[in-house]
Amino acid sequence: MRVSAPSLSPKPVSASRTVISVVALPRDSNHYGFVYGGTVMGLVDQAAYAAAIRHARQTVVTVCVEQITFLRRIYVGDVITVRAAVNYVGRTSMEVGVRIETERMRTGAVEHVGSAYVTMVALDADGTPIPVPPLELETDDDRRRRGEAAARRRTRVARVRRAERRGHDGR
Ligand X SMILES: CC(C)(COP(=O)(O)OP(=O)(O)OC[C@H]1O[C@@H](n2cnc3c(N)ncnc32)[C@H](O)[C@@H]1OP(=O)(O)O)[C@@H](O)C(=O)NCCC(=O)NCCS
Between 81 and 120, how does the x/- string for binding to ligand X read (CB under 6 A)? ---------xxxx-------------------------x-
Q: For the CB of residue 20, give the shortest distance to ligand X in the complex, in Å.
A: 18
| Site residues (CB under 6 A) for ligand X, limited to 6-45 | none
| Site residues (CB under 6 A) for ligand X, limited to 53-72 | 61-64
Q: For the CB of residue 31, give the shortest distance to ligand X in the complex, in Å.
A: 29
Of positions 23, 110, 151, 157, contacts ligand X by CB under 6 A: 157
Compare residues 72 and 154 and give the one whose CB is closer to ligand X: 154
What torsion, rounded to 10 degrees, do the Cα atoms 157, 162, 167, 171 define? -90
Compare residues 85 and 89 and give the one whose CB is closer to ligand X: 89
- Of all residues in the shown chain, the one whose CB is closest to ligand X is 90
Compare residues 62 and 115 and give the one whose CB is closer to ligand X: 62
Q: For the CB of residue 37, give the shortest distance to ligand X in the complex, in Å.
A: 17
Query: How many helices (DSSP H) and strands (DSSP E) are in the chain?
Result: 2, 7
Distance of CA 110 to CAs 93, 101, 151, 153, 158, Å?
32, 7, 30, 31, 37
Half-sphere exposure of residue 17, counting CA atoms within 13 Å on the CB side? 7
Among 11, 100, 105, which residue's Cα sits nearest to residue 53? Answer: 11
**Number of neighbouring beta carbons within 10 Å of residue 118:** 25
Task: Tell whether residue 129 is a contact of ligand X (CB under 6 A).
Answer: yes
Distance CA 99, CA 107 (A): 21
At residue 107, what is the residue type? Answer: T
Compare residues 100 and 130 and give the one whose CB is closer to ligand X: 130
